[in-house]
Structure 1
Amino acid sequence: MGAKLDPARTRLANYPFVLTMQPRFGDMDSLGHVNNVAIAALFEEARVAMNRAVLGASHVALPQERRPLPVVVARVEIDYLREVRYPGSYQVAVGVGRIGTSSIQQVCGLFEDEICLALCDAVLVHRGPTGPVPVPEPVRGLLTTMAFPAQVPATTT
């Protein structure tokens, strides 16, 4: 994310996809906070949900060679801005920050009542049988509909 926080990232309305989630009791640490690993899992689940919504519900169930976007996660960076407590209901928001030749940057925010609690950047690399390959144009077009900042109201699930 860099040394300076982008204020646009802390606004829920800027994300094109929003998933409401509840952490589990087992996600809590001894201080009553949702632990860092559980927060990373919330971000992961929301990224997968957005990809399934855009690329088809069977996207992750298909064999690797038949998926429209076979990817590996190359990098994840999380900034924890405020405490996340159990129990609670949170909105995990996702958008596509950038599409490179063979990579996709997904930007995410974790929100409670419009207050940003954490931000996440993930870089996914599109893979072929022998390594990175260009993101196919049809997939690129679909992912572009989820660009951050959102141009239309968020899709909430």
Structure 2
Amino acid sequence: MGCVTSTQTREDPSLYPVLIEHEARYSDLDPSRRIGRDALVRWFEDARVAVERDAFGADLVARLQSRVRLLLAAVRVDVIAPLRVAGNYRIGIGVSHIGASSFAYRYAVFAGHECVATGESVSVHCDVPAPPAADGDHPRDGTEPSPLPDVVRGALATIQVSAPAPTRPDRGDARLVRENYPFRVDVRTRFGDLDTNRHVNNVALAGWYLDGLAELHQDVLGYPTGGPLDGLSPSSLAVQYRDQVHYPGIYQLRVGVLELDEDTVRYACGLFDGPRCIGLAEAEGRHHAPGQDGDPVRLAEALAPFRMRNL
């Protein structure tokens, strides 16, 4: 654990075809007084929307909104250095891969010329769901991947960077079984979580996984006032969106420990609609932090009983 990921290899602003100024907001801060991981997922979304508006043009956007959808399939965030609310940031973005029906972005966040965070995402081009049949029945998901239009492919090619495409490792079927995760949190969707596609937004879902980790930390710490200790937030978060999450609804978020070493812990998370897995995530961070009295609090022993089962 703790190795440099593929998203941490492009550390110069000049390597990105698009740089977007982004001012940090107070609401982006988490309890540690640093920019939260879910806020960075939102920053990446803002960058995607800006690029697609400018690169595709208003006419194409209108056609996309009426006939097709771009759905986020996966996103990853890696924090390299603390991000604080003071000062402005620049988000570098470029297209790292163009496939038959999907494409991938590479991101880097710069404070001056210092790269403080990186990321990547995969978007899938889908048909708009067909209208409900006369009897009211309609498919559960309602969307199918469809080929990228040539005009979209051409626009994406103008901001392409030389970088490996994101990979989705085959982790087997054990993570699709909810009972293999020892820790459970029930989540109720909120109307404010919905986006323009009328399902729960990817940023809100990333926040759900972070909430699940915080609940686990609070459980092993004995539910301290004010939430878990500073320093326990993960330095990396990777989310895979397997299916749409709807409102209203109550879902099970499951968490388990994959690996523990001397300093860090790697977690697996699964989001379930009944027994069906509709989302996966991985996160990595430290398992020790300064306590309120200044002495280190080490959680490795307390986290050990929460190891994933049947891997």
Aligned pairs for 1:121-140 within 5 A: 121-129=120-128, 130-140=143-153
- Counterparts of 2:25 and 2:5, CA distance in 1: 32
Aligned pairs for 1:71-150 within 5 A: 71-129=70-128, 130-149=143-162
What SS does the aligned partner of 2:31 have? coil
- Counterparts of 2:6 and 2:113, CA distance in 1: 17
Aligned pairs for 1:1-20 within 5 A: 4-5=5-6, 8-20=9-21
The alpha carbon displacement at 1:65 in A equals: 2.6
- Paired AA for residue 28 in structure 1: L
- Counterparts of 1:38 and 1:6, CA distance in 2: 18
Larger-gyration structure (1/2) = 2
Identity %: 33
Task: Say if 1:82 and 1:118, in contact at 8 Å, map to a contact too.
Answer: yes
The alpha carbon displacement at 1:123 in A equals: 0.2
What SS does the aligned partner of 1:32 have? coil
Task: Say if 1:52 and 1:58, in contact at 8 Å, map to a contact too.
Answer: no
Cα 1:59/1:119, change in 2 over 3 Å: farther
Aligned partner of 2:55 in structure 1 is 54
Cα 1:57/1:138, change in 2 over 3 Å: closer
TM-score normalised over the length of structure 2 = 0.44
- Counterparts of 1:59 and 1:41, CA distance in 2: 23
The number of residue pairs the alignment matches comes to: 147
Aligned partner of 1:155 in structure 2 is none
- Paired AA for residue 110 in structure 2: F
Task: Say if 1:25 and 1:87, in contact at 8 Å, map to a contact too.
Answer: no
Cα 1:149/1:57, change in 2 over 3 Å: farther
- Paired AA for residue 128 in structure 1: D
Where relative contact order (Cα < 8 A, 6+ residues apart) is larger, the structure is 1
- Paired AA for residue 116 in structure 1: C
- Counterparts of 2:116 and 2:74, CA distance in 1: 20
What SS does the aligned partner of 1:77 have? strand
- Runs (4+) of structure 1 moved beyond 3 Å? 2-8, 57-63
Task: Say if 1:15 and 1:149, in contact at 8 Å, map to a contact too.
Answer: no
- Counterparts of 2:8 and 2:75, CA distance in 1: 20
Task: Say if 1:25 and 1:86, in contact at 8 Å, map to a contact too.
Answer: yes
The alpha carbon displacement at 1:59 in A equals: 5.7
Cα 1:60/1:35, change in 2 over 3 Å: farther
- Counterparts of 2:150 and 2:59, CA distance in 1: 20
The alpha carbon displacement at 1:131 in A equals: 0.6
Task: Say if 1:18 and 1:93, in contact at 8 Å, map to a contact too.
Answer: yes
- Counterparts of 2:26 and 2:5, CA distance in 1: 33
The alpha carbon displacement at 1:29 in A equals: 2.2
- Paired AA for residue 141 in structure 1: G
